[in-house]
Structures are given as C-alpha cells and as structure tokens.
Structure 1
Amino acid sequence: MAFDHRKYVAFKPVAKTDRRWPDKVIETAPTWCAVDLRDGNQALVKPMSVAQKTRMFELLVKLGFKEIEIGFPAASQPDFDFCRKLIEEDRIPEDVKIQVLTQARPELIERTYEALAGARKAIVHVYNSTSTVQREQVFGLDRDGIRDIAVNGAKLVRDIAARHPETEWTFQYSPESFTGTELDFAAEVIDAVSEVWRPEEGQPMIINLPATVEMATPNVFADQIEWICDNIKRREHISISVHTHNDRGCAVAAAELAVMAGADRVEGTLMGNGERTGNMDLVTMAMNLYSQGIDPTLDLSGMAEITEVVEACTEISTHPRHPYAGELVFTAFSGSHQDAIRKCLARRKDGEIWNVAYLPIDPFDVGRRYEEVVRINSQSGKGGVAYVLERDYNISLPRWLQIEFSKVVQREAETNGGEIDSLTIHRLFEDRYLKVHADWALRSYDLHRDEEGVHAEVSVGRDASPVRLDGHGLGAVEAVSEALEKRFGISIAVEAYDEFALGEGTNANALACIRLTASGRHCSAAALAEDTTSATLQALFSAVAQAVGVDMPKKEVEVETAGA
C-alpha cells in the first residue's frame, strides 16, 4: 500500500514527572511579535510588493504590535530595500522594534547590520539548525560543529552591534528545528550563546524556540518549553519566545500551552499565513485571551479591515469558518441554536458579563452585527425565523405561530435551495398571515357592555358595500365570532390568541395573532393595526376568510349595507 503508516515512528515524549504547566492559567498576554512580513511573506506564491508590505506594516502598527519582523534583508534585495525604506522615511514609531532574520553566517550578519543602519530599536534574530536530522543528513556535522556555528554567529552579532551604539539592540537566537533537537543539546547551545551575549550584564536577549515543523501534541511541546526554562542558565535574564507551526493543526494550542509552561513571547502571523499549513495565528490566540477576560494588548475590533488587508497583501482568501474572522463564525443556521441565541439576547442587559449560548464573544466587539448571527436555510427552526422578524421588523410571534411559520419558511428554503434572506421571510409572513382581502377588511367597530356581556357592532368589507355584523359574547373575540357564525352559517372555535404592543416609531402599534377552527378547517392569521382591538378583529376576519373563501359570502344571508 502507498498509504502505509509503518514508515513513521511515534515522537518520543519528554521524560518529565515534575511538570507544573498543567496547573497554570494564562493571566496576562505574552509579548507578541508579528512575522507576517518575513515568515509569512516567504511562504507566499507571489511575495508581497513594497506597497503591500507597507500596508501590512501599517496595519500591524495600528493593531498595537510593538515587535514586528520585517524581513530577511541579507537574503533578498527587496527585503533589504524595504528595511531601508522604513528607516529612512521614519515610518517606525518610537515604541516599535523592528526585527530582522539572518543565518549565523558572517557575510549575512554584516549585510543585516547594513540594512539596519540608523534604526532606533532593532532585534537581530540569528539562527542555525540544531536538530538531529539536520546535523546528520544536511550539514554532516557533530554537536560541536553545530554549537560552534551558533557561538561564532553570536560573537559577530555582538561585535558589529557595538559599532552602532546609537541603536537600541536586542539579540535573538533560534535553535531552528528545536522540536527535533535533543533537549540537553538545545540547552547546551543556548547556554553557549548566552555566555557570549551576557544578558545578566544588561544586553536584552531573546531565545526563540521554534516548532519549525510541528512534530507532536501540544502537551509535548509544553514539556519541552518547561524543561528548557528549568535547565538553561541565566533564565531570569532571558525572554523565552516560541514560534509554532501548524503541521498538525495545533499551532495555537501549542503556543498557549507554551505560555503556561513559561514562555514570555509568541511569534506568529495574522490569520496564520505561513509555510506548509501555516504559522501560529495571532488573531486566534489574542482573541482566545480576550474571550477569557484577558487584555490581549492588541486592538482587533476592526476585524473586517484586518481580513481585507491580509487578503489584499497575501492574495489568500479568509476561510468563512476561520475563528473570529470568518464570514460565518457568528452565524447560526441550526434551529435550536437560533432559538437559544434569540432567548439569551432578549434576556441580556447592557453591562452584564457576556453569557450567550453559542456565541463565545459578542460579535459587536469585532465589528460584526447581530444581523449576521442568525441566518435562515432549510436547517433553521422557529427561533431563527422569529429572531429575524423581531430584529428587522419588530414583529414578535407567539410560540405556536413561530412553529407554524417556520414550516412555511422551511418549505420555501427546500424548494429554492440555499439561504432565505430577511426580505423573503417578511414577504412570506405577509402573504401567509398579514394580507387582508378587501371583502374582509375591518372598516369600523363599536364595542360596549350590556347585561349579556359585550355587544359588538362591526362593519367589514369593501368601502362601497360593507357588511354590518352584531353579536354578543364574554369578550370582543367571542362577540364577533358569534356574529360571524350567525350571519354566515359557520361554527368558530378559537384555539389560540395573542396580542402584542409594538415599539414606538412604527406605523402600527399592535400585532394580533389568532388560530381557530372554522367549519372544521384549521386557520391562522395575524394583523397589524394602530390599536390591539383593531388588530384582533382583523386577524379574526382574515382567519375566517381562509375557511369560507376570500370573497365575502353573499348568498347565505341577506346583506345589510351601511346606511340601509
């Protein structure tokens, strides 16, 4: 078989019995470093132009990133030129550090400092691969040879920086392919580099531990980070950074667990763009913290702008289910989900802790609207349909009518396929329940009490020849029903009746909904009017019309016209 699992071997976990990170809780955001302009850019089919890079850099600054990796200037002339553009045009805010990457090779390190000349603050990020497979199969070097590359690179980074005291330098070292490196050897190389840079004497130093290829479950990566934090020298003077990739689909989880294990800093990209399956998604991790009541120190409220810029610069579309940013992530099609969302939003008061079913955060916080939360298709139920009518048309339906009308909407969705928009839902409601035939339009009514209860005198029908009805009952509905039964020879049994006052500023101030059986036929109708009595009587007439026909019966009885 070509698909043969036997060619692989399980990753060997860390032999660790004193792990503490599972009991830790993230309480503050890590230091963020956005690497969209370097790691993200090198993964693109079509690398960014200078204009695209500039637009991405300005977005990152606007969002609040204080450390931004802008390129690999020694390896690419466009990266070199972009670095010079930012510095010479004074585009870098005073509180932002730019970061550049270089391999631990003398000519590349020299060129890197040329690109950074005149920068106020800069992080020089030097790396070499330390993993077993790279040592043995790529470089053909032993441990000493790999460690010497790192040490010699660290010395040159230190020495050239000393020639440029006008810049506030931070040194960063990455043992590339850290996850595939023996932990004792990774610690040995890190200690050798810190021996050169001497962070305890005041030189800011970052050790970046990359999951260059994600090789195991996030808990194993957390063990590796905690082991390094426990075993390297000068830990209290070193910022531990992580840079996770998404080969197993767990980059965000691995970074979160790494912070629990002691990491101080996280590198990633917006929307997770990066090589192979991508980098750690900064938007997702920062929003995860936000959803737990933790200040992410980034302003991600303009999610539409973020996705627009990322898509324009990377030429990669955002998946509609992308966490927090996708078009459909706050959308509920399921009927039970829609019903729960509608009820929770109706109960919620301003200023309360967010606690809404199926919505981990308030969509408004990232610039989304409640209109986008509930959308209707053939899978939707009564709650979603009712929510749309409430939200867009201020129409609240009783539960029995929610159930009945949702079936009308579902049939429409099944017939036409796809999503049913708000206008279509309202049209269906009007056609099925609100439409009033001229023969059954309420013209006038007079209700008063006498010794028999309520006496109703009602005029219904066309202006030219309205029909006058009168009847008695315990209430208005019963009195008019008695009048209809008497005049048209039908039997009426009201099964459900609800009336609602509508909000101010609407043309109609009341909605009435009624379900009845007339001569053995089940009928439902609704009506909008300026007062609840008018709405109630019109709903009653519209429901009866469904049973006896929309044309007013003329033959069963003698018709009295107004003024006769």
Structure 2
Amino acid sequence: MNAKKYKAFPAIPIENRTWPSKRITKAPIWCSVDLRDGNQALIDPMGIETKLAFFELLVKLGFKEVEIGFPSASDTEYDFIRRLIDENRIPSDVTIQVLCQAREKLVKRTMECIKGAPSVIFHIYNSTSPAQRKYTFNKSKEEIIKIAVDGVKCIKECMKDLSEEDRKKIRLEYSPESYSMTEIDYAIEICEAVGNEWGWSKENKIIFNLPTTVECYTPNVYADSIEYFASKISHRDCVIISTHCHNDRGTGVASCELGLLAGADRVEGCLFGNGERTGNLDIVTVALNMFSEGVDPELDFSNLPDIADAYQEYTKMEINPRSPYAGGLAYTALSGGHQDAIAKGFAARAKMPEDAIWDVPYLLIDPHDIGRKYEGIIRINSQSGKGGASFILEHNYGYAIPKAMQPAIGDLIKAKSDAAQRELQPEEILKFFEEQWLGKKRPLEVLDLASTQLEGHDESEHVSTRGVVNYNGVKFSIGGKGNGPLDSFVSALAGTPVPAFNITAFHEHSVGQGSDTYAVAYVQITMEDGKSKWGVGKSSNVGKAGVAAVISALNQ
C-alpha cells in the first residue's frame, strides 16, 4: 500500500469559525433523491409503477421536496413524471425536483416534461473540479462557468413561453458537481455567476447545492467550506444552501450534521443511504439523530419496520443488520453486561411516567417510538450474561426470576448456546429453563399428596400433609405438620432419605389472567454442606407451587 500516491486536500481558509459551538435545533428542508440519485445506483432501476409507489411513501413520510427524475435521460423517466402530473398525484404542498445537465437540448426536453406541475425545482449542474475540467471537459475555469451560465440562460429562454403564473412555479437549483474537490473560491465564483444570471430574490430563493460528490476529506473540512461559502456568497438572504453528502469515507452523516451546524439550510439524501458507490447520505439516520436529542425532524419514521420493508421491496437492496435505527440488530444485546443493564433500565422505566426522559442504558432511543418491538432487544448466545436469559423469560413468558437465581439460569443457557455454537431463540430458552426446573422427576417425585387444615392448633402447626413420594426408585409414605402447605411438606420429608435442608429464600408471583392464572414459586434451599440450590414450581394452587419448587430444587 503506497500512501505516497495520495495527498490531503487543502484546508479552507477560514478564520474564527463558529460552527463547532453550535447545535442543531430545528429540522432542515429535506429533499429525497431516492427516485433519481438513488434509482440510478440500482442494479435494476425501478419501473414506473414502483416509482409511483415509492413517491407515495416519501410523501407519506413528510417530504415536501422530492427529486423525481432526470426526464431528458430516458423515456421511463419522462413518462413517470408525466404520470405524476397528469394523474394529479403531487400534493399541493409538495415540490417536485427534476435534474438536468446545463445543455440546451436537455433543458428544453425537461421543460416540456414538467408542464402543468404545481411546483418545480429545476436542478442543473456541471462538474467543476480541476480533474473534471482537465480530463472530462478539457476546458478552462472561464469555459466551465460559461457552461453553467448558458444553462441558466436556456432555462430562462424556455420559460418565456410559460404564463406568468407558471413561471412563478419554477425555482432554480444549481450544483457545482464535484464541489468537494473544487477550489472553494472558484466554487463561489461560479455560483455567483449563476445567481447573477438567474436573478437574486428573497421570495424565490436560488438553491446552491454543495455536494461531496466524492467524500474526500474529514467532515470538519466540509463544515468549514459551508461556513466559508455562506460568509462569502453575495445576497445570502436570497440563497438556500443545500448539502448533498456521499459516504466514500464512511462519514456522510457526520458531514451533513456538521454542514448544518455551519449554516446549511437544506439536506438532500436517500432513505437508508442508497446511492452510487458507498451511497448517499442516510436521511433516516440524520433525522433520528435529531429526534434522539429532542428535535422534531418533521419526518414520520414511527413505523420504521414497514418503511424498511417497502424500501427493500422497491429497490431490491438490503439494509445491513448493523445499520443505525433500522438494522435488524440495532436493538439487540448479546453481551451479558449490556443485557443486564437493559433489563434493569426497563424495569426502572416501568415505574416512571410515560413522558419521563429516556435513559435506558445502551439504547439511544425507545425502540417503540419507531415501531420496533422489545422482544428482540436481548438475544442469547454463549457470550451472554446472567441477566439476558432472565429478561427473555420475564418479558416473553412472564417468569419474574429473582436476581439471586439469575446466575444459575445464565450458566445453563450459556452452556446450551456454547454446545449449539449459535444464538438461542426465545422459545429455546423457555424450553431449556422448563426442562431444568419444571420437568425433572428424579431423584424425588411426588406420587400422592394431600394437605389438611387443622382446627384448634397453634399457628406453628395448623396444616397437616400426608402422601407418598418416590426417592431414587423407592417409595416412602410421608406425613408432617407445619404452619402452611410448604412448611408441613418439608416436615414430612424428614422421615425419608432426602438430605436435610433449609429454605433460605422464597419468591412467588402470578402469571396469566382470569382462569388461566398460575402461581409461580421460586425457592432457594441450602443443604447441610452449605451448598444452595434453586427450584421453580408452577401450579394453579399457590401452596402446591411452593411444594413443587422445593421438589425442583432437590432435583437439581
């Protein structure tokens, strides 16, 4: 790897920058480019019907500006846009955006396509970087500026045929493509020329879109360029500064966020970061990052799973399971320490008001806010800790495992996962738990048992228990008295070879509702040698659940 063939891009000559101390406090103007920039990056571009469905999704999410295509590029693009217009599919508060190179023939074709649209952003561009000027166009700086200005002139000429009302419906966006690799003062110079030709207006602001067409430096340099541009461009109050970040260095989201701090007003991007090479900016991530800090993004991602499913259906692209917010593993904890902290956080939150500030460990936002479910938050493998399996048992199946018993369950489930060499599903965790603590019949099994309430006895002996047990294959008749069914059963075992023990912890709760309610008891017994064992019992009778828990403990 020869690093000497590369060099750092120059810094922006900015002094006294202000963006590092700022915060994002409101949503920008969002523009989805899924149907154009995202679509051109697909192996199999979307057909008209799919694009219509995608457009409806974007409108439903709250986008007020949508770049819908490049009408001069193909008949499919042209016909799709005409369908939107002719079938009145564009809401009155939504502006469509069309892309066009700054060339007369293409501008005329595009202008023809958008006739009748309620509101249009006419987006023209030409590439401006030294490499593009040298290799692609073989033109000077002045000639590249002329291309941009001539494109604006052509748009204005074509608009002469429109009515006064229709002319007011068209706004201009200009992109110095490859802005990120263009000398900053030259980028400003070409934008000035475009603005002078189009005309500066506070009522109909020109959009200067400043793309990291190739992300080639750290996000702070992009932010410097935005602040520098905003401070140098004339008629700043007549300009909307737009970001259009790509992700070649993996920091597209950071570049966008820092660009907003630096004064950008508008964001172009795609759902889930679709786009050329490593993708465009992921609008979902930027919007939900704002949401996580209490800023309304003004986009509705409250049902993110359905949005993700639709996106994957339309684009045939997959969302990485580690993607922020939408990834299948975004709310999954495999580490034992993480699992334990999440479980405790949820337990504490259950006692708080619904609008309490969110602070559950390891979870940036409440998954419920974006339509995710809690069931999949903790998943279990051989690296999971004591709390993970217990969390699954409680939240999926109602077993409120005592904290002191959780290590025993954690050890069992980790051993099972290690043996299987894979993650365990919740139903497997339940199966192993119930096999270990509810299903064992040896060495002690109750064959017959009855308890009787005694009258006229002191409180220490008001229940009598009689029955038959099988211990290590031998039947024993038992009998005893105590202050309840559990105490009298323990007393009755004294006449058998069952080792002596004391009950050192007891917990119980109910599971289910109505006629399906069961009592669940958890008992810790301590043997004469000091070793402790846990048992679990489940019964429709509270007393029997405790007895079953003692038997379960003795069978461990």
- The 5-angstrom pairing of residues 200-349 of structure 1 reads 200=201, 202-348=203-349, 349=352
Listed one character per residue, the Cα deviations across residues 166-203 of structure 1 (whole Å, up to 9, x for unaligned) are 43111111111111111111111111111112232643
- The 5-angstrom pairing of residues 488-499 of structure 1 reads 488=497, 490-499=499-508
Which residue identity does 2:49 align to in structure 1?
A: A
1:32 is paired with a residue whose SS is strand
1:243 is paired with a residue whose SS is strand
Cα pair 1:99 1:124 within 8 Å, conserved: yes
Cα pair 1:439 1:460 within 8 Å, conserved: no
Distance in 2 of aligned mates of 1:201 and 1:471: 92
Residue of structure 1 in register with 2:490 after alignment: 481
Name which of 354, 359, 365 aligns with 2:358.
354
Residue of structure 2 in register with 1:551 after alignment: none
Cα pair 2:478 2:495 within 8 Å, conserved: no
* Aligned-residue offset at 1:344: 1.1
Cα pair 1:377 1:418 within 8 Å, conserved: yes
Which residue identity does 2:449 align to in structure 1?
A: R
Residue of structure 2 in register with 1:90 after alignment: 88
Distance in 2 of aligned mates of 1:216 and 1:460: 80
Which residue identity does 1:425 align to in structure 2?
A: I
- The 5-angstrom pairing of residues 398-417 of structure 1 reads 398-417=402-421
* Aligned-residue offset at 1:276: 0.8
* Aligned-residue offset at 1:479: 5.0
CA gap 1:470/1:156 in 2 versus in 1, 3 angstroms: same
Worse-matched range after superposition: 524-533 or 56-65: 524-533
Distance in 2 of aligned mates of 1:58 and 1:503: 43
Distance in 1 of aligned mates of 2:410 and 2:306: 36
* Aligned-residue offset at 1:385: 0.8
Distance in 2 of aligned mates of 1:481 and 1:251: 67
Distance in 2 of aligned mates of 1:496 and 1:237: 74
Cα pair 1:333 1:380 within 8 Å, conserved: yes
Distance in 2 of aligned mates of 1:503 and 1:287: 36
Cα pair 1:447 1:454 within 8 Å, conserved: no
1:371 is paired with a residue whose SS is coil
Which residue identity does 1:534 align to in structure 2?
A: K
**Residue 422 (structure 1) aligned with residue 426 (structure 2):** yes
Which residue identity does 2:331 align to in structure 1?
A: F
CA gap 1:9/1:253 in 2 versus in 1, 3 angstroms: same
Worse-matched range after superposition: 345-354 or 326-335: 345-354
Give the % identical residues.
42
1:440 is paired with a residue whose SS is strand
* Aligned-residue offset at 1:351: 2.6
1:372 is paired with a residue whose SS is coil
* Aligned-residue offset at 1:541: 3.0
Listed one character per residue, the Cα deviations across residues 234-293 of structure 1 (whole Å, up to 9, x for unaligned) are 111111101011000111110111011000000001111111110001111111111111
2:525 is paired with a residue whose SS is strand
Which residue identity does 1:148 align to in structure 2?
A: K
- The 5-angstrom pairing of residues 360-509 of structure 1 reads 360-435=364-439, 437=441, 439-440=445-446, 443-446=449-452, 450=457, 453-454=460-461, 456-461=463-468, 467-471=477-481, 480-488=489-497, 490-502=499-511, 504-505=513-514, 507-509=516-518
Distance in 1 of aligned mates of 2:89 and 2:156: 26
Listed one character per residue, the Cα deviations across residues 120-163 of structure 1 (whole Å, up to 9, x for unaligned) are 11110011111122122322222211111111111222232242
Cα pair 1:104 1:126 within 8 Å, conserved: yes
Listed one character per residue, the Cα deviations across residues 346-379 of structure 1 (whole Å, up to 9, x for unaligned) are 1113232222111111111221111121122222
**Residue 190 (structure 1) aligned with residue 191 (structure 2):** yes
Name which of 516, 526, 551 aligns with 1:541.
551
Distance in 1 of aligned mates of 2:448 and 2:385: 33
Cα pair 1:500 1:532 within 8 Å, conserved: no
1:414 is paired with a residue whose SS is helix
Name which of 508, 524, 527 aligns with 2:534.
524
* Aligned-residue offset at 1:69: 0.6
Cα pair 1:131 1:182 within 8 Å, conserved: yes
Worse-matched range after superposition: 321-330 or 477-486: 477-486
Which residue identity does 1:249 align to in structure 2?
A: G
Distance in 2 of aligned mates of 1:380 and 1:490: 34
CA gap 1:297/1:162 in 2 versus in 1, 3 angstroms: farther
Cα pair 1:197 1:203 within 8 Å, conserved: no
Which residue identity does 2:358 align to in structure 1?
A: W
* Aligned-residue offset at 1:497: 3.0
Residue of structure 2 in register with 1:134 after alignment: 132
- Structure 1, unmatched stretches of 5+, are 548-564
1:453 is paired with a residue whose SS is helix
* Aligned-residue offset at 1:218: 0.4
Cα pair 2:26 2:296 within 8 Å, conserved: yes
Which residue identity does 1:28 align to in structure 2?
A: K
Distance in 2 of aligned mates of 1:244 and 1:8: 22
CA gap 1:110/1:446 in 2 versus in 1, 3 angstroms: same
Distance in 2 of aligned mates of 1:345 and 1:508: 24
Cα pair 1:499 1:511 within 8 Å, conserved: yes
Distance in 2 of aligned mates of 1:500 and 1:302: 35
Cα pair 1:442 1:538 within 8 Å, conserved: no
CA gap 1:245/1:452 in 2 versus in 1, 3 angstroms: closer
Residue of structure 2 in register with 1:550 after alignment: none
* Aligned-residue offset at 1:504: 4.1
2:461 is paired with a residue whose SS is strand
* Aligned-residue offset at 1:34: 0.5
Which residue identity does 1:250 align to in structure 2?
A: T
1:355 is paired with a residue whose SS is coil
Cα pair 1:247 1:278 within 8 Å, conserved: yes
Which residue identity does 1:285 align to in structure 2?
A: V
Listed one character per residue, the Cα deviations across residues 302-350 of structure 1 (whole Å, up to 9, x for unaligned) are 2122222221222111111111111111111211111111111111132
Cα pair 1:441 1:538 within 8 Å, conserved: no
2:59 is paired with a residue whose SS is helix
* Aligned-residue offset at 1:480: 3.8
Cα pair 1:497 1:512 within 8 Å, conserved: yes
CA gap 1:489/1:68 in 2 versus in 1, 3 angstroms: closer
Q: TM-score, normalised by structure 1?
A: 0.91
Distance in 2 of aligned mates of 1:158 and 1:505: 75
- Structure 2, unmatched stretches of 5+, are none
Which residue identity does 1:114 align to in structure 2?
A: E
Name which of 64, 68, 78 aligns with 1:66.
64
Distance in 2 of aligned mates of 1:452 and 1:278: 75
Q: TM-score, normalised by structure 2?
A: 0.92
Cα pair 1:154 1:197 within 8 Å, conserved: yes
Cα pair 2:445 2:551 within 8 Å, conserved: no
Worse-matched range after superposition: 273-282 or 54-63: 54-63
**Residue 515 (structure 1) aligned with residue 516 (structure 2):** no
CA gap 1:452/1:390 in 2 versus in 1, 3 angstroms: closer
Cα pair 2:503 2:523 within 8 Å, conserved: yes
1:219 is paired with a residue whose SS is helix
Which residue identity does 1:13 align to in structure 2?
A: A
Residue of structure 2 in register with 1:4 after alignment: 2
CA gap 1:340/1:290 in 2 versus in 1, 3 angstroms: same
